[in-house]
Amino acid sequence: MNARRTAGSAAGQAAHSDALEHLARVGLIAYGVVHLLVAWLALQLAWGGGGGEPADQSGALATLAETPVGGPLLWVVGLGLVALAAWQAAEVARWRHGWSASGEDRKKALWKSGKALAKAVVYGALGVLALRFATGGGQSSGGQQQQTAAGVLGWPGGQWIVGAAGLVVIGIGVHHVHKGLSKGFLKEIDTSRSDARARRLVTRVGQVGYPGKGVALLLVGGLVVWAAVTYDPQKAGGLDAALRTLQQAPFGWALLTLVAIGIAAFGVFCFARARYPERR
pLDDT at res. 38 = 94
Are 239 and 56 in contact by the 8 Å Cβ rule? The answer is: yes
Please say if the pLDDT value at position 140 is more than 60: no
Q: Which residue has the higher pLDDT, 115 or 174?
A: 174
Q: Give mean pLDDT, residues 109-132.
A: 88
- Residue 156 DSSP class: T
201-218: average pLDDT:
96
Going from the C-alpha of 121 to that of each of 4, 150, 213, the distances in angstroms are 25, 21, 18
Q: Is the pLDDT of residue 196 over 80?
A: yes
Burial class, 265, CB count within 10 angstroms (exposed 0-12 / middle 13-18 / buried 19+) = buried
| Model pTM score | 0.86
Query: DSSP label at 56?
Result: S
Give 253's contacts (C-beta < 8 A, 6+ positions apart).
46, 47, 48, 247
Lowest mean pLDDT among 10-19, 73-82, 84-93, 113-122: 10-19
pLDDT in tens, 153-179: 788 888 899 899 999 999 999 999 999
What pLDDT, in 10s, does the model give residues 6-47? 444 444 454 456 777 788 889 999 999 999 999 999 999 998
Which DSSP symbol is given to 37?
H
The SS3 assignment for 250 reads coil
Rounded to the nearest integer, the mean pLDDT of the chain is 85
- Return the pLDDT at 5: 47
Give yes or no for residue 143 having a pLDDT over 90. no
CB–CB of 97/8 below 8 Å? yes
What mean pLDDT is predicted for residues 129-149? 75
Cα separation, 63 vs 275, whole angstroms: 25
